[in-house]
């Protein structure tokens, strides 16, 4: 079974600065997807960024980028120019890419999350 580990329960950053959130995972599969979701106080789960394991290029979405190290099974999230609205819980998640009947391998496995505080 796959596991996802977020070793930083809490992180803080000054507004306009850069912060990196860590995520490692364990899998025996070669093809999979990795995600970062943001959960603000409203508790809505919002997709931040996605990475396909077969792609060597790191995904980028505006101020959000990842450092994907497949051999090390590491998937960190970098937030540049941090804004007050970035304050939230951030969850790293894993999803298999293996095709089987019923899509049962498509479930997401989440880490425990990192609570990010942005200081003005």
Partner 1 sequence: EPEVTQTPSHQVTQMGQEVILRCVPISNHLYFYWYRQILGQKVEFLVSFYNNEISEKSEIFDDQFSVERPDGSNFTLKIRSTKLEDSAMYFCASPHPGQSGETQYFGPGTRLLVL
Contact pick of 12, 112, 117, 119 for partner 1 (by CB under 8 A): 112
Least distance (Å) from partner 1 to the CB of residue 17? 27
- Distance, in Å, from the CA atom of 50 to the CA atom of 60, rounded to the nearest integer, reads 9
Contact between 107 and partner 1 per CB under 8 A? yes
Is the Cβ–Cβ distance between 20 and 74 less than 8 Å? no
- Distance, in Å, from the CA atom of 102 to the CA atom of 99, rounded to the nearest integer, reads 9
- Distance, in Å, from the CA atom of 65 to the CA atom of 76, rounded to the nearest integer, reads 8
Least distance (Å) from partner 1 to the CB of residue 14? 26
Least distance (Å) from partner 1 to the CB of residue 91? 6
Q: Whose structure tokens read 């306009």?
A: 16
Restricting to residues 37-96, name those near partner 1 by CB under 8 A.
Answer: 37, 42-47, 50, 52, 91, 93, 95
Residue 26: HSE in the Cβ half-sphere, 13 Å Cα cutoff: 5
**Angle 65-69-72 (CA atoms, 0-180°, nearest 5)?**
145
Name the site residues for partner 1 (rule: CB under 8 A).
33, 35, 37, 42-47, 50, 52, 91, 93, 95, 101-104, 106-113
């Amino acid at each position: 079974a796959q596991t996802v580990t977020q070793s930083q329960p809490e992180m803080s950053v000054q507004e306009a600065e850069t912060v990196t959130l860590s995520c490692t995972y364990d899998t025996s599969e070669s093809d999979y997807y990795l995600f970062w979701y943001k959960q603000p106080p409203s508790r809505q789960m919002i997709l931040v960024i996605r990475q396909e394991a077969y792609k060597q290029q790191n995904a980028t979405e505006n101020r959000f980028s990842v450092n994907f190290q497949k051999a090390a099974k590491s998937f960190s999230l970098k937030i540049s120019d941090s804004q007050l609205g970035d304050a939230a819980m951030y969850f790293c998640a894993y999803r298999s890419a293996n095709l089987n009947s019923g899509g049962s391998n498509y479930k997401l496995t989440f880490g425990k999350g990192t609570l990010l505080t942005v200081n003005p």
